Amino acid sequence: MRDRILRIFQWVLGLLLPAHGEHRTTATTAPPAPVSAWQKPWRGPSSAQVRAIFHAEEDQGLTLEQRQHRWAVRFEAIGIDYPVRYPNDHFEQYARHSDRRLSA
């Protein structure tokens, strides 16, 4: 008898308060199909762009630091971050502090 009353009560509530919203629905949705990384468009620079940046003739007589700076500027112009490291940069300071914390 209790089961019949409960089923009738659930049926009446289902009519009066239809399920809506993410948490009230009882139907489950299938998870989205995985997307292959090979189907996504390439977001980086093309090999021709990178070759042109690294093999520019105006950079041939410069020091390594000057070339790296120019490379960073050219990559930034096409929207790519190019990490530039140089002696005594602020990253070395943080690395030294983390080394001290690890050894203590």
The whole-number pLDDT of residue 25 equals 56
The whole-number pLDDT of residue 79 equals 87
The whole-number pLDDT of residue 56 equals 92
Q: Please give the torsion angle defined by the CA atoms of residues 66, 69, 74 and 79, in that order, rounded to the nearest 10 degrees.
A: 170
One DSSP character per residue, 14-53 reads HHHS---STTT--PPPPPPPPPPTTTSPP-S--HHHHHHH
pLDDT tens digit at each of 104 positions of the chain: 778 898 888 888 888 876 666 665 566 677 778 877 777 777 788 889 999 999 999 998 999 889 988 998 999 998 888 777 666 776 666 666 555 554 54
The whole-number pLDDT of residue 48 equals 92
The whole-number pLDDT of residue 10 equals 86
